[in-house]
Copies of this chain bind each other. A is one copy, B any other.
């Protein structure tokens, strides 16, 4: 299960700033992020054997260069090491990346430096799965519980979960695993769409997209709210009219409100029966989310958050405080697969369903693996995975949704490898498409 060989030396760590000009179409726009250019920092780990691991972290355009530089500061901790030895001591290597004695001051374990760790760690997992010749979800699903748990750093969460407890949870979920794997391969995993309600879209476009996604087999829809209440009421009405009350509606405020404001605003939208309000306030405000949760519980509206929750210590507290009823892990904000596993385990302990964030560059590709592992090997129950139909064609093995369901990936790895064309066209600022757009005056090149 742990690959070995001197030819597993990581001989090169390559890092690229890749940006897609999505702001041109208001794709991805919300109350806080009005003009995102969906981007990523893209890490390639080359081994002597010739097998490479690809990893990425999602960004919104400006600042991708900052995260790229942060990855470069970690390069010396990975380059020249043997990948097999990394996997055999993964929690220690993970801590060396997150707790480097000088670098931790500018984190620790949050923001730029943790996004950088995510890109590197995700590339390591892609490499591991490729070396085993299986998709990541199957690698995780077939790992012995002891090995899987050995990859996790339990620092700062041992008051809520211990390695022994985690192993026991996983062992309890072994029964019927093969059947669940078969089922996944046959039927896929439910998706929900955020595509119908970006902030920048017109009413007509929203109507048209609701119809489109209903026809595509989707039964759950999320829209952006928080800019003004009249518009929100209008959008909720519009979508409910299209999808009916037999389908699921979710609303997402992207951190626009203060605590009291969130409660008052969502009360007014509660008549449209949203399953949850996502990111009602600051992603750091555990106690604020707990207050909002208590206020909205009688109305049947849950609180969801997590895409900007910066590390396992914050997730731990959200769970402890009853501050999230839906846990939205992101595959590239916290420190990669190792740390995400610890959050799945804590969520299971607190009986909080994980409904992952996705939609940015590569996020759907990655998170499907995690959620499928969770189904086969931890909770035995399927929830939903967010789906946004953007940038998938930039990947060699794109996430594929059919009849409103993610098809289980079959290619080896973590589905994180971009096409050569994507890199050639969209590397910033030297890629062909960027050079063209600079020349045509569509964008101005950022220079400091």
Whether the pair A310, B284 counts as a contact (CB closer than 8 A) is yes
Nearest residue (CB) in B for A448 is B72
Whether the pair B102, A62 counts as a contact (CB closer than 8 A) is yes
Whether the pair A102, B37 counts as a contact (CB closer than 8 A) is yes
Whether the pair A102, B36 counts as a contact (CB closer than 8 A) is yes
Interface string of A78-101 (1 = CB under 8 A from B): 000000000000000000000111
Whether the pair A102, B61 counts as a contact (CB closer than 8 A) is yes
Known: A32-B101, A102-B35. A63 touches B72 (CB 8 A): no
Q: Which residues on the B side are within 8 Å of A261 (C-beta)?
A: 158
Residue A164 interfacial (CB < 8 Å): no
- Docked complex Cα distance between A106 and B313 (Å): 18
Binds B, one of A107-115, A143-151, A167-175, A234-242: A107-115
- Option from B35, B101, B156, B287 in Cβ contact (under 8 Å) with A317: B287
Q: Which residues on the B side are within 8 Å of A112 (C-beta)?
A: 66, 70, 106-107, 111-113
Nearest residue (CB) in B for A72 is B448
Interface string of A260-272 (1 = CB under 8 A from B): 1100000000000
Interface string of A289-305 (1 = CB under 8 A from B): 00100000000000000
- Option from B35, B72, B255, B317 in Cβ contact (under 8 Å) with A285: B317
- Option from B33, B75, B111, B260 in Cβ contact (under 8 Å) with A101: B33
> Would you give the shortest CB distance from A187 to chain B, in whole angstroms?
34
Residue A200 interfacial (CB < 8 Å): no
Residue A433 interfacial (CB < 8 Å): no
- Docked complex Cα distance between A158 and B67 (Å): 32
Whether the pair A35, B66 counts as a contact (CB closer than 8 A) is no
Whether the pair B102, A287 counts as a contact (CB closer than 8 A) is no
Whether the pair B32, A320 counts as a contact (CB closer than 8 A) is no
Residue A403 interfacial (CB < 8 Å): no
Give chain A interface residues in 106-129, CB to chain B under 8 Å. 106-115
Q: Which residues on the B side are within 8 Å of A61 (C-beta)?
A: 102
> Would you give the shortest CB distance from A60 to chain B, in whole angstroms?
4
- Option from B35, B104, B159, B286 in Cβ contact (under 8 Å) with A259: B159
> Would you give the shortest CB distance from A281 to chain B, in whole angstroms?
6
Whether the pair A286, B287 counts as a contact (CB closer than 8 A) is yes
Give chain A interface residues in 140-185, CB to chain B under 8 Å. 155-159
Known: A70-B63, A102-B62, A159-B260. A110 touches B288 (CB 8 A): no
> Would you give the shortest CB distance from A191 to chain B, in whole angstroms?
23
- Option from B36, B58, B101, B287 in Cβ contact (under 8 Å) with A35: B101
Whether the pair B104, A32 counts as a contact (CB closer than 8 A) is yes
Nearest residue (CB) in B for A314 is B284
- Docked complex Cα distance between A287 and B156 (Å): 11
Whether the pair A75, B36 counts as a contact (CB closer than 8 A) is no
Whether the pair A448, B75 counts as a contact (CB closer than 8 A) is yes
> Would you give the shortest CB distance from A385 to chain B, in whole angstroms?
20
Whether the pair B106, A63 counts as a contact (CB closer than 8 A) is yes
> Would you give the shortest CB distance from A350 to chain B, in whole angstroms?
13
Residue A103 interfacial (CB < 8 Å): yes
- Option from B58, B99, B114 in Cβ contact (under 8 Å) with A111: B114
Residue A431 interfacial (CB < 8 Å): no
- Docked complex Cα distance between A162 and B11 (Å): 56
23 contacts between A and B (CB under 8 A): A33-B101, A37-B102, A60-B101, A60-B103, A63-B102, A63-B106, A65-B73, A66-B66, A66-B70, A66-B113, A106-B111, A108-B308, A110-B310, A111-B112, A111-B113, A112-B113, A158-B258, A158-B260, A159-B258, A159-B260, A284-B314, A285-B316, A285-B317
Q: Which residues on the B side are within 8 Å of A100 (C-beta)?
A: 62
Give chain A interface residues in 15-74, CB to chain B under 8 Å. 32-37, 58-63, 65-67, 69-70, 72-73
